[in-house]
Amino acid sequence: MTRVGLLKKPGSEDDTASLESLSAWLRGGGYKVVVLGDPASTPADDIVVVDESEIGRACDLLVVLGGDGTLLRACQLVADDDVPLLGVNLGNLGFLTPFDRSEAQVALQRALEGELPLEERMRIVMRLYRRAEGLPAGRQGATARGPASPGPDASTLLAERSALNDVAITRQVVRPLDFRASLDEDPIAEYKADGIIVATPTGSTAYNLACGGPVLMPGLAAMAVTPISPHALTHRPVVVPASGTVRIELISDAYPAILSVDGNWEHPFVFGDYIEVVRAQKPLKLFRPRKSHFEIMREKLAWGTR
**Active site residue ranges:** 68
Q: At what angle do helices 104-112 and 13-28 cross, to 10 degrees?
A: 40
Amino acid at 203: G
Which pairing describes strands 284-287 and 246-250: parallel, antiparallel, or unpaired? unpaired
Residues 6 or more apart whose CB falls under 8 angstroms from that of 253 comprise: 137, 138, 140, 141, 142, 144, 270, 271, 272
The torsion region of residue 11 among left (phi > 0), alpha (psi -120 to 50) and beta comes to: left
**Strands 47-50 and 32-36: what pairing?**
parallel
